[in-house]
Amino acid sequence: MLIAGQLLTAQEWKLITLKADGAEASYAVTNVQQIVFENDLMTVELKSGNNIAGISRVSFDLGFPEADYSKLKLNEVNGYSASGDTDKFYELINIGDVEIPLAGVTIEYDGASDTGAGFPPVGGGQGVTWMGCVSQTIAPGGFFVIQDRNSSQVIDINTCATKMKTGLTAARNLIITLKDPSGNIIDQCKRAQDTDEYTLTNKSYSRIPDGTGPFYFTEATPNATNGVSTAGLTLVPQSAGTDVKSPKAEPAIFVFPNPVKNYLTVSGAAKNAKINVLESNGTLLQTVISKDKSTDIDVSSLQQGMYLLQIGNQVVKFIKQ
């Protein structure tokens, strides 16, 4: 029940549509600052500074999908900066079609050594280097960048940090872990120890394609797409440790979109290779012969759930929506 003087934030109500005197207007939740009820009338305050006042009738649409944190991904990690930590950053991407609130989302950095006030340590020398706050969101297909360092900031759900707490390096083993508000691991970026084969420590680690592909050494592109072409790029070694094998020995296989509704694109398989589509228990459903560069597989008839693709000795998981 709404009462006079009640203050509602857009985040709480997820405002979609207003109806007033027969007219209807829609506002994205990210553009609404707050809604004020007073003397039986409503005022909508927009973040642009404009107010819509004197509304006597209103309806709220609360039936949109909940946020799917499996669609929140690490898209780029840049641990190189020519001037301290200024240019270092983490970039998140929302590969889903629903806005994701970042409150309680955390990034853990295994090189973190700070255990001071406001820095909750994690086992194995890891630590939380950033936590999303109550007003931070990421739009469908959008990016969110945490750049530069603030070693004194408090890691707190009400502290809207846009910088990392600990430094980030490109020159040694690291594991970057992204977790949802419940502490479940959403995604990881593993950078292996440098060897003579991998000396590109002044590069960023970028997912190609964005949000779904493996990490490649690239130039830094914060808040921008990484594109789809991997021509001339080198894969970032993903096995933590010094015994890194060349990815050239077994081409990287990746699939997109993932989750998928109709057609799944498989890239990286050798021409004429067998692509086996399996149930999660290993039951073979179909076999497709790969084409040059990429292969599209019709998965529209599959039931919702997790499935496997087997190409040679490699197995890749995908989700059918």
Is 279 part of any domain? yes
Is 229 part of any domain? yes
Q: Mark whether 85 and 204 lie in a shared domain.
A: yes
Q: Mark whether 233 and 289 lie in a shared domain.
A: no
Q: What are the pLDDT digits (tens) for 91-146?
A: 999 988 788 888 889 998 875 433 333 334 333 334 788 998 878 889 888 999 99
Q: Mark whether 219 and 153 lie in a shared domain.
A: yes
Q: Mark whether 229 and 281 lie in a shared domain.
A: no
More confident residue, 250 or 303: 303
Q: How many domains does the chain have?
A: 3
274 pLDDT above the threshold of 80? yes
Q: Mark whether 148 and 214 lie in a shared domain.
A: yes
Is 234 part of any domain? yes
Mean pLDDT of 84-93: 92
187 pLDDT above the threshold of 80? yes
Q: Mark whether 201 and 230 lie in a shared domain.
A: yes
Is 163 part of any domain? yes
Domain boundary (249, 284, 301) is at: 249
Is 74 part of any domain? yes
- Return contacts of 200-204, CB within 8 angstroms, 24+ apart: 200/234, 201/80, 201/170, 201/171, 202/80, 202/170, 203/80, 203/170, 204/76, 204/77, 204/78, 204/80
Q: Mark whether 49 and 78 lie in a shared domain.
A: no
Report which residue type is found at 59: S
Q: Mark whether 160 and 84 lie in a shared domain.
A: yes
Q: Mark whether 195 and 313 lie in a shared domain.
A: no
CA distance 171 to 240: 13
**What torsion do the CA atoms of 136, 75, 293, 310 make, to the nearest 10 degrees?**
-90
Q: Mark whether 80 and 225 lie in a shared domain.
A: yes
Domain residue limits at 44 = 7-55
Question: Tokens 């029940």 label which residue?
Answer: 1
H or E element: which one contains 44?
Answer: strand 41-46
3 state DSSP class of 94: strand
Is 243 part of any domain? yes
Domain boundary (249, 279, 296) is at: 249
pLDDT of residue 122: 36
Is 62 part of any domain? no
Q: Mark whether 42 and 73 lie in a shared domain.
A: no
Residue 236: pLDDT band with limits 50, 70, 90: confident
Is 314 part of any domain? yes
Q: Mark whether 282 and 297 lie in a shared domain.
A: yes
pTM of the model: 0.55
